[in-house]
Amino acid sequence: MIKIAVVGASGRMGQTIIEAIQQNNQVTLGVTLNQGDELALVVDQFDVLIDFTRPVATLGYLAICAKAGKKMVIGTTGFSEEELTQLENFALKTPIVFAPNMSVGVSLTLKLLDMAAKVIGAEADIEIVEAHHRHKVDAPSGTALKMGEVVANALGRDLSTCAVYGRAGIEEPRDRQTIGFSTIRGGDVVGEHTVSFFMEGERVEITHKASSRMTFANGAVRAAIWLDGVSAEQGLYSMKNVLDL
């Protein structure tokens, strides 16, 4: 039985992950921790750590897991480029599944976006709109950025140079080479993402809507089960690897 540790256990996502673990007969809850608890004292009580907290906390947990030879599933978003580099360096020491969205449906959506971008992206104006609950602190969402990255890569573009985050103050026609992002925050929206390809005379939209955090929690548990079977002592993986897409 795979023993899983959950950090941020008292939060909304943490509670949902605990519920998902309890509903899965392939795993068991090894330990739960909240902010301020000392992970290093309980590393012998779990095989895989699931973390949906904040970047600074995640990197701290990674340092402990890498030293103890423990694997991690990371759903944390909002990393800076420097923090992502640190995460990649930790993956040289211990296996990690890192995904801004653990949903199986989102993973499929990313595959569809790659296909759509390759077929129609060069002739389209591309806009990404995402909506989340009022408590979400990073914007655009990690999922929206991942969608933009997939589309940009399919078109041979660099998202860091072609992304447009809001159009206030831009007084010129839209550049077709750009990828636009719009963010909505309000109420209790779990997560909604739409990528629109605007062409002359028609529009293609690919949308994913999450109505429950359980979809992310189940995906994270699925990733932990997959990761437990990885024999390598290092590696940075995504849900694409987990789902064999």
Tell me which residues are annotated as active site: 132, 136
Strands 163-165 and 179-185: parallel
- Strand residue runs (E) in the chain: 2-7, 27-33, 48-51, 71-74, 95-98, 125-132, 163-165, 179-185, 191-199, 202-210, 235-237
Q: What is the CA radius of gyration of the chain?
A: 19
Cα–Cα distance for residue pair 237/152, rounded to 1 Å: 20
Cα–Cα distance for residue pair 242/84, rounded to 1 Å: 20
Cα–Cα distance for residue pair 70/2, rounded to 1 Å: 12
Cα–Cα distance for residue pair 83/89, rounded to 1 Å: 10
Query: 169 to each of 166, 172, 173, how far by Cα in Å?
Result: 9, 9, 12
Which helix (DSSP H) or strand (DSSP E) does residue 81 occupy?
A: helix 81-90
Which residue from 57, 53, 61 is spatially nearest to 90, judged by alpha carbons? Answer: 61
What DSSP string runs through 164-177? EE--TT--SPPPTT
